[in-house]
Structure 1
Amino acid sequence: MKKTYYLFNPGTLQRKDNTIKFTPIEEDGNGLEHEGQPRYLPVENIAEFYVFGALNANSALYNFLGQNDIAVHFFDYYENYTGSFMPRDGLLSGKMILAQTSAYQSKKRRLELARKFVEGAAFNMTKNLRYYNSRGKDLEGVIEKIEQYAAMLPNAEAVDEMMGLEGNIRQTYYEGFELIINDFSMGGRSKQPPKNEVNALISFGNMMCYSQCLRAIHQTQLNPTISYLHTPGDRRYSLSLDISEIFKPILVDRVIFKLLNKKELQEKHFETRLNRCLLNPSGKKIFVQAFEERLNETIQHRSLKRKVSYRHLIKLECYKLSKHLLGMEEYKPFKMYW
């Protein structure tokens, strides 16, 4: 099975025959930088790279990565997703682009898809809340409020109105974080920059989820720039934002609750500077490991009658959306059933 590699150290990534060679840059006890021990990675075992440090690479490497269908996702020092190198779009289909565009240009069809993304997200948020409500957290009021907003979704007559309801649902959902998380307080949602530890985790995790959705879209015939809930824009893969709404409660939030409540992440794993809170390198590694474990967990799929990983569920979501756009079957967002 192919693996995802996370590069936290700055260094050099290069092709070495038919393998990938990564040479990290490390600091000694005096703060002087030097080249660390190179690591050789068989190309057939690599799914993608996540790069969190400065990376030296050349066109020969990227040509090699493209030939082997290996993506590279880049994050800046502040943990913001900055972009991806994606292999050539070998699966893109003119028929699919026309179908996506047609659905976007139809007010009725776009609104229908936007509503389904929000319905799926709201259901999965509520499922998280019910899980913790059954374990002694008093979340009935939060759940009831979200259900009231969700009941209004079928009456929304414009995507902007749908986005407003989605914002209300998510704001209410985040109120529940104060009751679920034991030793940290979220306060209000702060993004750019995140003001505290919980907000830092949400921002970092959401970017990780967004990247996973982008990769899954790229493995289908869907075009990632044509979206329905989020408005398509220049230089952004907005369909990833649509699909990630469904999976953030499942992949990101459950990981956050686990890491904080089990004290796997503590204050020492964060750093605060210039009114901004970030995970430090050791904190990032802990979160990334837990996130990767979550992606590789499996569930018994009701329709397929077999076990599938959470990572594969994202790709299945893309296939369902593709079939809907091509008129083959109605799209139904993934909803947790356990």
Structure 2
Amino acid sequence: MKKTYYLFNPGQLSRKDNTLKFTPMVEPGNPVAAPRYLPVEGIEDLYVFGSLDANSALYNFLGQSNIAVHFFDYYENYTGSFMPRDQLLSGRMLMAQTSHYTDKVKRQTIARNFIDGASFNILKNLKYYHNRDKDMAEIIEKIETLRLSIANTSAIDQLMGIEGNIRMTYYDAFNLIVNDFSMGNRTKQPPQNEVNALISFGNMMCYSQCLRAIHQTQLNPVISYLHTPGERRYSLALDLAEIFKPLLVDRVIFKVLNKKAIQEKHFDRQLNRCLLNPSGKKIFVQAFEERLNETIKHRKLNRNVSYKHLVKLECYKLSKHLLDIEEYKPFKMWW
């Protein structure tokens, strides 16, 4: 089974026969540790959090080996990805995606499904903790009321407004779920406290997972339905991430904080900014990977599938909807 590798240290990445050679470095030509060799057959993708020295020959090799590379800057912002050549390009799918975007009714239907799935999974999280002596009754009631208006929307702006209100209400529950940290207001770019830092970091990890899953299907990642397609962003990955953030990101945040795997010492505070430090990132990434690799018994497939594979299955379901094969129903947690 292929794995994801995370490069936290700056270093040099090169090809060594049929393996990748990573040498940690403080500055070019000054290695600080022995090289590590990674067989390409076992690599799904690479996440790069430190500066990386590599050349075009290396990226040619990565492309031939179908290995994606995702880049993040010092402030944990996702900056871009190197993707292997599109091997599943389909003119028919591109036409179908475009027609469903330009048709307001069809676009609204898909966008409603994304918010319906996301809000349902949010409620699942809240009910999980409500059944474990956390009083979520008032918050659950508010979100259930907001969910009732999803089906009556006729414009994307209305949907985004409902989604925003659901998220704001949901984030109020974080103060009840998390033991030793305060959520406060949701702050991004930059996050102002520890919980916000984890949300921002986790959401980027989820976005990258969705982007990789899209790339492994015939879908085009720049044509989206809930988020407006824009310059220099893969907005369809943002759409799909809405469904999976409660399952993949939020549950990991609750786990690492309540089990004290991540503590105050794992954050760096700067002027108007709070970020995970390298040791904190490693702990979160490990917990996130464990979550991705957990399996459940799929009700339709009648076999165990990982949470990571659920993202790809969502892409297949959307593809069938766009090609008028089967109506799209968003993933909803049933356990």
TM superposition score normalised by structure 2: 0.99
Q: Are 1:49 and 1:73, in contact at CA under 8 Å, matched by a contact in 2? A: yes
Q: Which of 175, 178, 181 is the matching residue for 1:178?
A: 175
Output aligned runs, 1:245-284, within 5 Å. Answer: 245-284=242-281
Are 1:321 and 2:318 an aligned pair?
yes
Indicate if the aligned counterparts of 2:101 and 2:107 stay in contact, CA closer than 8 A: yes
User: Match for residue 164 of structure 2?
Assistant: 167
Correspondence 1:278-317 to 2 at 5 A:
278-317=275-314
Q: Distance in 2 between matches of 1:193 and 1:98?
A: 38
What CA distance in whole angstroms lies between the structure 2 residues aligned with 1:40 and 1:176? 44
Alignment of 1:1-338 (within 5 A): 1-25=1-25, 34-338=31-335
Flag as ranges the 4+ runs of structure 1 deviating above 3 A.
none
Quick one: distance in 2 between partners of 1:6 and 1:283? 13
Q: Which amino acid aligns with 2:14?
A: Q
User: What CA distance in whole angstroms lies between the structure 2 residues aligned with 1:170 and 1:304?
Assistant: 31
CA shift for structure 1 position 35: 3.4
- Structure 2 residues without counterparts, runs of 5 or longer: none
Amino acid at match of 2:262: L
CA distance in 1, matches of 2:282, 2:100: 40
* Alignment partners' CA distance in 1, 2:155 and 2:26: 53
Contact 1:7 1:53 in 2 (8 A): yes
Aligned residue type for 2:5: Y
Cα offsets for 1:223-266 (capped at 9, x unmatched) = 00000000001111000000000000000000000000011110
Q: CA separation in 1, counterparts of 2:220 and 2:101?
A: 12
Identity over aligned pairs, percent: 74
Q: Structure 2 CA distance, aligned partners of 1:210 and 1:92?
A: 21
State whether residues 26 and 36 of structure 1, in contact with CA within 8 Å, keep that contact through their aligned partners in structure 2.
no
Question: Displacement, 1:34?
Answer: 3.6
Give distance in 2, aligned partners of 1:162 and 1:71.
33
Tell me how large the CA RMSD over aligned residues is.
1.1
State the alpha-carbon separation in 2 of the partners of residues 319 and 235 from structure 1.
24
| Cα deviation, residue 185, structure 1 | 0.2
Tell me the SS of whatever aligns to 1:329. coil
Rounded to whole Å, the distance in 2 between the matches of 1:134 and 1:70 is 42
CA shift, 1:26, in A, is 5.1
Unaligned runs of at least 5 residues, structure 1: 28-32
Aligned 8 A contact 2:23 2:31 in 1: no
State the alpha-carbon separation in 1 of the partners of residues 83 and 3 from structure 2: 16
Structure-1-length-normalised TM-score: 0.98
